[in-house]
Amino acid sequence: MRLKNKVSIITGAAQGIGLATALKFAEEGATVIVCDMKADGVDAALAMVRARGAQAQGYAVNVTDRQALDAMVAAVMAHYGHIDVLVNNAGITKDARLQKMTMEQFDAVIDVNLRGVFHATQAVLPAMVAQGSGVILNASSVVGIYGNFGQTNYAASKFGVIGFTKTWSRELGPKGIRVNAVAPGFVETPILATIPDKVLQQMREQVPLHRLGKPEEIANVYAFLASDEASYVNGAVIEVSGGMTV
């Protein structure tokens, strides 16, 4: 078990990549802290994590709410005494062409995808600095590297996450804290549920493997980066896209 007894907070853990990551971490022996804004989703995910034999807690927290994040971290520290891994996975999309994108759409995505990462990381940082160790894993996207039609807000947020990752790896590396990002391509998640089949097929054709990724394939990368096997990996942005950007 590569993550035995590592207390790991995963945001956006009620579905998709976040849920797959929570389950993978549970299988690897981690103590899993399920964090999501949907209370019913937290309860369901928590049951699945515990069914795999892992210690776990769940918190219905919106990453845009700094006070709620601070309260969650305080509760985790009071119970376990340490926080070893933070996976900043929570994210949303509100797509529109530039000319039609509203400030509400723009701000909503930036608040969750960018400010949420900032808030969650600041919240856990005192614990990690005090213990002299920790791993912060940020969810970026290939869209944050290459852009995508109709996703000005999403692309900006995910490019910003890369900036966070590069900067924090320099700031926090000397304190024993590693910071890395994962940039998935097209993955079978609820975000894609509203996309027509014809468009999904076009997406598959852009990938040399001719298929979409599975959440578990992203979770596997997170598990590696969180483990001691990745002890010299810092400041990296790892694309997991089936080769679509080649």
Six-digit token string for 211:
């298929």
Q: Which of 80, 154, 222, 232 is catalytic?
A: 154
Run of H or E including 58: strand 56-60
CA distance 78 to 75: 5
CA distance 4 to 23: 14
CA distance 190 to 81: 34
Decide if 138 contacts 178 (C-beta within 8 A): no
222 is catalytic: no
Six-digit token string for 70:
């601070």
Burial class of residue 121 in the structure, from the number of CB atoms within 10 Å of its CB (0-12 exposed, 13-18 middle, 19+ buried):
buried
Decide if 24 contacts 220 (C-beta within 8 A): yes
Six-digit token string for 171:
């700031």
What does the angle CA 27 – CA 127 – CA 56 come to, to the nearest 5 degrees? 30
CA distance 228 to 222: 12
User: Catalytic residue numbers?
Assistant: 154
